[in-house]
Amino acid sequence: MGRSKFYDWRRRQSQANGHNDAVPRENWLTDRATEAVIQFHQENPSEGYRRLSYMMLDADVAAVSPSSVYRVLKRRDLLQRWNRSRSKKGDGFDQPMAPHDERQL
């Protein structure tokens, strides 16, 4: 066994095994940055998440990547969907009264 492996094990002796566990990152968003993204979105509701992230950077509000802005807005259900109409799937099909009849029942 290598010396470094021994000291790694010794350093972790009383810790729980965190195999494939979430590692806290220094670049994760703080609560303050998350609230800044939400507030900036409410001030500029017509802008997309990518443009919003660059506008926030230019306005010196927060330095947040477009993917982080997307995740914050998605989590709070603030993204505007392009297709808001209800799907007609599963409503059935109205049969015509006769062949080549375009009238509906």
Q: Which domain holds residue 64?
A: 28-77
DSSP state, residue 8: H
Residue 4 lies in a domain: no
**pLDDT in single tens digits along all 105 residues of the chain:** 899 999 988 988 888 887 777 776 767 888 999 999 999 999 998 899 999 999 999 999 999 999 999 999 999 989 876 666 777 787 887 777 888 777 655
Concatenated DSSP letters for 28-92? Answer: SPPHHHHHHHHHHHHHSTTS-HHHHHHHHHHTTS----HHHHHHHHHHTT-PPPS--SPP-TTS-
Give the N- to C-terminal CA distance of the chain in Å, as an integer: 81
The count of domains in the chain is 1
Classify 10 as helix, strand or coil: helix
Residue 68 lies in a domain: yes
Is position 45 within any domain? yes
82 occurs within a structural domain: no
Q: Is residue 22 part of a domain?
A: no
Can you tell me the distance from the alpha carbon of 87 to that of 90, in angstroms, rounded to the nearest whole number? 8
Dist. CA 33–CA 55, nearest whole Å: 14
Domain presence at residue 71: yes
